[in-house]
Every structure is written in C-alpha cells, then in structure tokens.
Amino acid sequence: MKTFKRLLGYATPLHHYIPEYVIYTLVGIIFGMVNFAMLIPLLNVIFNQVGDSPQTLTQPAFSLTITYFIDLFNYYFYYFIKASGTKQSALYFVCAVIGVCITIANLGRYMSTRVVTRMKMTMLARLRSDIYRKFTTQSLKFYSEKQKGDLLSVMTNDVQEIEGNVVNAIQILLRDPFIIIGYFAALFYLSVKLTLFTIVFFPLSGFIISYISKKLKQKGWYSQELLGKILNVTEETLGGIRIIQSFTAARFMQGKFGEVNQRFVKVSKSMFNQRELASPVSEILGVVVVIVLVIYGGTLVLNGSDLLTGATFMTYLVFYSQIMQPAKNISTAITTMQRGMVASERIFNILDAPVEIREKAAAVALTGFQDKITYNHVSFRYEQQYVLKDINLTISKGQMIALVGRSGAGKSTMADILPRFYDVNEGNIRIDGTDIRDVKLDDLRGLIGVVSQEAVLFNDTVFNNIAFGHPQADRDAVIRAAKIANAHEFIEQLENGYDTPIGDRGLKLSGGQRQRLTIARAIFKNPPILILDEATSALDTESEKLVQAALDKLMQHRTTIVIAHRLSTIQHANEIIVMDQGEIKERGTHDHLLAQQGIYHKLVEMQEFK
C-alpha cells in the first residue's frame, strides 16, 4: 500500500485528473445503462407488446429521479405514436434514443481514457526522470555493486510494467466498481429476487482469484531478475564481441545464455499459466451463475409471474452480462497490480539507494586553485581490505606528479578520491587547506579535468562532445580547443565538420582520433587540475605522436596527476610516486629513483614503461 501511494505521488496533483475522470466515467456508465434499458421498449415494440396510448398525455414535472426520466421517456414514446398514428414511429424514437445514448456513452469513455493517458504519461515521465537523475548522481560504489543490465532493466522493463499493469489497474479500479454498483442498482430495480441470487457468487470468485494472485507475486520477482540476467549476458557479449570471437568462445557464451534463457522460459511459462488461470476460472463461475439465473428467471417468466415480463427478463440478462466484464477486470487488475507493485519496489529500491557521496549542507564554495593539494594520512578501502594505506602527499600548483607501480597498486584509486568519486575512510584530502568534503561538489569537480585511458565519448556531434554539457558554447572556443588537441584537421575533414555525429561511443572514429577528442574536451573545460590516466594501448606511431603532443599541450600550466605508463612522461614529472600494495614506497625524480635501485629501478628494468 505504501508503494502504491508513493507511485500515485508521481501523478500529483490528483485533482487535475480524478474529478474530470469521474465525471466522464459516470457519463459513460449512465448513458451506457440507459442504452441497455432501451431494450425493454424496443423489445416491447418489436414483439407488439405496447399497450394503447393513454387518453391524455401530460409532460411530467421535472425532478432529479429515475421516475421522472422514465415518465419523460414514456411521454415522448406515446406522443410519437399518437402524432403519427402508428407504432412504427415509436421504433424510430427508441432507435434514435439508443443512437444518442451510445454516442454520449462512448464520448464519455473516450474522454476518460484521455485523462488517464495524460496522468499515465506524466507519471511515467517523472518516474523515468527520477531514475535517470539518480543514475547520474549515484556514486561509483553503487555501480561497482550493481550490474548494468539490471539497471537498464529497471529503466525499461520495470517502468513498462508499471505502465502496462499498475496504471491500467488504477484505471479499472477507478471505473469498474462504479459500473458494478450502477448495474446492480438497475438489477435490483428490475428484480430483487433474482439479484440476491447473483450476489452469493461474487465473494466466492473473488476469493479464488486473490489466492492465485498471491502465488504470482513471488514469481514476478524472479522472472524480472532473470530478465536482468539475460540483459547482463547480452550487454557483456555486445561489449566483448571481439574477445568472444577471438577466443572462439561463442559456443561457450551461447551455452551460458541458453541456460539463463531456459530458466527464464520455465519461470515465465508457469507464471503466465497461473495468471491465465484467473480468467477461465472466473468465466466458468460466471457462466454457472448465468445458467442458474436463466433457469430461475425463465421459470418465473414461464409461470406468467406478473413481476417479470419476457422483455424485462431479457434486459435483466443483458444488464447482468454487463457486470461480468468489470468484475473480471477488477480481479485481473488486482492480480496485475501486484506484478506492478513488484516492479515498483525494484524501482524504489534504486531510488532509495543511499548516495554515498553527498555535499554537506554547509558546503563552502571553492572558487579556484591557488596553492597546493595535500593527501594527509589517507587510507581507503573498497571492501574489507585497505587498498590505500596512510598516504601523505603534497602536490604544489603547477607540478606534475607521476604515479607509477604494478597493476593493482592503487594508482587509479589515488586519482579517484580527488574528485570524490569515493570518499576516503581515514585521513583527508585538502585543496588549499580546505577538506574536499567541506566544499561544494560541483566546485570541486569543476576544478578537475579527467582524461581516462579509455576514450569515453557520447553519441552526439563532435561539437557537443568537445563542449560537453555546454551546448551553447562559443564555437571559436571549441575550435581553439580542437586545434590545441591536434583534432581540428581531422574534424574539418568529416562530412559535416564539427556538426558530424560520431556514432555510438565514437565508433565512427579511429582510436587516436577519439583520444584527441577527449583531450580537446579537457582543454575546452580548462581546469587548473588534471588527472590523466595514460593510455597503454598502442597507437600507430603517427597517431601516437599527435596524441602525445596534444597531451603535452594539455598539461602545460596545469597541476597534473598522471598515472604514467610512458618513460617520457615520467622523466618530465616533478616527482615520481612509486606505489606498491597501497603504499608509497619510493618517491623522487627519475635519476634519484634509479640510483636507489629499488622498485622503480626494477619496473624500468622490466620495461614496464614504454
């Protein structure tokens, strides 16, 4: 119920929808009922059961009662017979009333679905925005714990599930009880005895349906999870297709996929079978009720009971048949609603996942970088084991620090804790003496540019990739950045120059071009502090030269932390920090460290650097 309320909160303010919806729905129901009620006079006319017109016809005085409307109808019914002198005109009259009623009823229904569509779209758009906002602000820790496929499945399947199940269920639950009440009132009006019969069967079928729906809930979870797994395997495969094919592991991966796929099929099959059971069960129960009704009501008619004429009984059956569908709808809605609730819970789990990296309420502004960055007794762990231990480091403005060390030594982690992708567990990092946890997050990140090994680009134009996040940026500034990054020339040669879309993750560009674009992006941002993770993957010499020259220009006049893989970069560093198992083991200049004959010397000897 809490989940449901929260979900409904996405459609607020409800008064924008509900009153309008109720009015249209009532119009639909009332005129729909009048339409069926017309069966009585229609059958009477056709089977020639209409009595003679009363001698004097008087228009009834207005009152808001059913009797008034019946009298009004009778008045015109007989008025037309009298005016034309034949009963044929009564037939035309009844048909005209039916035509008008059915038009109004359908108009009401259509308008009510429009209201629901409006409400539904607002609700889903807000929900999707919330999820996306959460994705963009969530900390990296969250992403290392969650699988991409699961998150995508939340955004697509779970939201879809809400659209398909919850909203439709809400629509039904807001409409169909009224229909049932309305028709029951009419049934009682037509025959109290018969109606009492039908009431007995409603709770019975309701009980069976709710029992089935409860069983469904568990399987709903399971199948969504399995669908997430299918997406995970697919995602992984699409990302690693080169590796899969070069390791001739296609069959292995097909087997892995087949296994999950089969499990999904099995669970889905049993889930769908159970769900589908709800419908035949209720239908059978419904038909049993009708059979009993026909026997009982038919006997009353055959016995010539004054209370029930043939036409009224036929109308009664038609009215009754109209109750079956909404009753079925309601029971199905309750079942599907539960499936939707499972999806909602998954969405809310994501939305409620705490964001670890938060800005303090009293965070101060950080307008620039003046003096130095200091790591003071910094220790950090992702899980149990510390991957950084008691790190002390000072980086003065304008310096270049090279982080070197074996794989897994903690170099990337050192870089990641500066823009607060993760927060340190012990100690602190200060910029110009201020703890980075006390400053505004955007200010901090605004000071830092990151160029990673992997050239991360977005499916957008060259221009928007360079001026990332600033679509209104000055074109000249973008071109200047591209020129510095040695990217201008190749961009000019693209079909539409700076306005050329670069495809998914920049797939339409070469590796070196992609890297130069990411460098241009960093140059455009012009941050005083730069974190550079040098690419280890080899480019051809020509391309490498261009990239290196671009990087050199990027590093000029900046304070740089570089995770270095090239001897040329390392030799230029003001200080080389040699890391091993989360600790700074050696530090100094290239010559100084070589002379020490320690880890650094070994790394150079092993030709770890290019």
Ligand X SMILES: Nc1ncnc2c1ncn2[C@@H]1O[C@H](COP(=O)(O)OP(=O)(O)OP(=O)(O)O)[C@@H](O)[C@H]1O
**Interface with ligand X by CB under 6 A: which residues?**
144, 382-383, 387, 405, 407-413
Give Cα 122 to chain centroid, integer Å: 13
Q: Which amino acid is at 68?
A: Y
d(CA 75, CA 73): 5
Q: How many other β-carbons are positioned within 10 Å of the β-carbon of residue 489?
A: 11
Q: Smaller CB distance to ligand X: residue 326 or 405?
A: 405
Q: Smaller CB distance to ligand X: residue 520 or 551?
A: 551
Within 13 Å of residue 550, how many CA atoms lie on the same side as its CB? 31
Which tokens is 250 given? 């296609």
Helix (H) or strand (E) holding 392: strand 386-396
Confirm if 138 and 353 have CB atoms less than 8 A apart.
yes
Q: How far is CA 191 from CA 124, 210, 234, 256, 301, in A?
A: 45, 30, 61, 64, 12
Task: Write down the least CB distance from residue 511 to ligand X, Å.
Answer: 19
Which tokens is 537 given? 């993957």
SS3 468: coil
What is residue 437's DSSP assignment? Answer: G
Q: Smaller CB distance to ligand X: residue 348 or 382?
A: 382
Q: Smaller CB distance to ligand X: residue 333 or 409?
A: 409
Task: Write down the least CB distance from residue 158 to ligand X, Å.
Answer: 25
Task: Say which residue the tokens 């730069």 belong to.
Answer: 530
Q: How far is CA 211 from CA 207, 229, 326, in A?
A: 6, 29, 19
Which tokens is 215 given? 């069983």
Confirm if 556 and 562 have CB atoms less than 8 A apart.
no
Task: Write down the least CB distance from residue 236 to ligand X, Å.
Answer: 17
Q: Smaller CB distance to ligand X: residue 228 or 410?
A: 410
Pick the closest to residue 485 from 505, 508, 462, 506 (CA basis): 462
Task: Write down the least CB distance from residue 428 to ligand X, Å.
Answer: 19
Q: Smaller CB distance to ligand X: residue 382 or 490?
A: 382
Confirm if 57 and 141 have CB atoms less than 8 A apart.
no
Q: Smaller CB distance to ligand X: residue 410 or 512?
A: 410
Confirm if 222 and 245 have CB atoms less than 8 A apart.
no
Q: Smaller CB distance to ligand X: residue 106 or 453?
A: 453
Task: Write down the least CB distance from residue 599 to ligand X, Å.
Answer: 13
Task: Write down the least CB distance from residue 388 to ligand X, Å.
Answer: 8
Task: Write down the least CB distance from residue 565 to ligand X, Å.
Answer: 8
Q: Smaller CB distance to ligand X: residue 166 or 603?
A: 603
Pick the closest to residue 163 from 302, 344, 395 (CA basis): 344
Task: Write down the least CB distance from residue 408 to ligand X, Å.
Answer: 4
Task: Write down the least CB distance from residue 376 to ligand X, Å.
Answer: 19
Confirm if 453 and 514 have CB atoms less than 8 A apart.
no
